[in-house]
Amino acid sequence: MKKITKANKAKAVAIVCTAFKDIDAVTSVIKYDSKKEERVRVLFDFCVSVSMEKEGAFLTSDEMGVALLFKSWKKLSFESAVSNYFKLVHYGISWERAPQMIMRELRLQKRRTKEKHLYFWLLGFDNSVKDLQRMIQIRDFCFGYAKELQLPIAAETSSKGALKMYLRYGFKIYDEWKPSEDKPTLYFIIRDWQD
C-alpha cells in the first residue's frame, strides 16, 4: 500500500466513486438531481482530501483499491476545513440538507470511542478487478499499521453482512444507534491492535 498523493488523488477518487455510486447510503447523502455523478465525485473528493490531511489515505500497490484509515486525533487546518466543507455542501449535499447532516455527524461523534485510534472510513475497489488478494492486502496493511502505531481500529457499519465480516476479523461492538424506525441500526465497532 502507498499513500495517496496529489499525483494519484484523481485515480483514488475515481475508484471510490465507481465502487460506491449506486450504494443507498451514498445516494441518500447527496442532493439527488440530474448532477448525481458530479455530486458523488464531490463527496468522495471530500473523503479522500480529509483522509489525506489526516495521514490516512492509501492506494493498493496496483492502484486499483483504496483504503481510508486515518488518525482520529488529527485535525484539519482551518483553511482546509472551510474549503472542503464548503465544496461538499455547495456542490455535493446542498445547503438545505447541511443542517441535518451536521446534526447526524455530531451524534456520531458523541458515540465514537474517545481513545486515540485509527478510524476506518471506507475501502473501495475498481469494479473491473475486485478480487480476494486486493482485500487481503488492505486487511493486512490496516492490521499491520494499527500494530505499528499500537492503536485500535474503529469503524461503523449498518450492513449486517459487513458486521459479520468485521466480527470475524476480531472487531467488537461497543455501541449501537438506531436513528429512527425506518433507518437501520448503526453498529460502532473496534478492534484492538493486539488481536
pLDDT in tens, 155-178: 999 889 889 999 999 999 999 999
Residue found under cell 499500537: 150
The band of 74, judged by pLDDT with boundaries at 50, 70 and 90, is very high
Which pLDDT score, from 0 to 100, does residue 115 have? 94
Residue 55's CB is within 10 A of a number of other CB atoms, namely 13
Which pLDDT score, from 0 to 100, does residue 121 have? 93
The stretch 78-92 carries a mean pLDDT of 93
Model pTM? 0.88
3-state secondary structure of 144: helix
Which pLDDT score, from 0 to 100, does residue 27 have? 78
Q: Is the pLDDT of residue 184 over 90?
A: no
Number of structural domains found in the chain: 1
Range of the domain at 173: 2-191
Q: Is the pLDDT of residue 130 over 70?
A: no
Q: Measure Cα distances from 56 to 28, 31, 148 in Å.
A: 25, 27, 14
Q: Is the pLDDT of residue 58 over 80?
A: yes
> Which phi and psi angles does 32 have, rounded to 5°?
-95, 110
Burial of residue 174 (number of CB atoms within 10 Å: 0-12, 13-18, 19+) = middle
Q: Measure Cα distances from 68 to 41, 105, 153 in Å.
A: 16, 18, 12
- CATH number, domain of 187, equals 3.40.630.30
Q: Is the pLDDT of residue 12 over 90?
A: yes
The band of 128, judged by pLDDT with boundaries at 50, 70 and 90, is low
Strand bridging mode 118-125 / 153-157: parallel
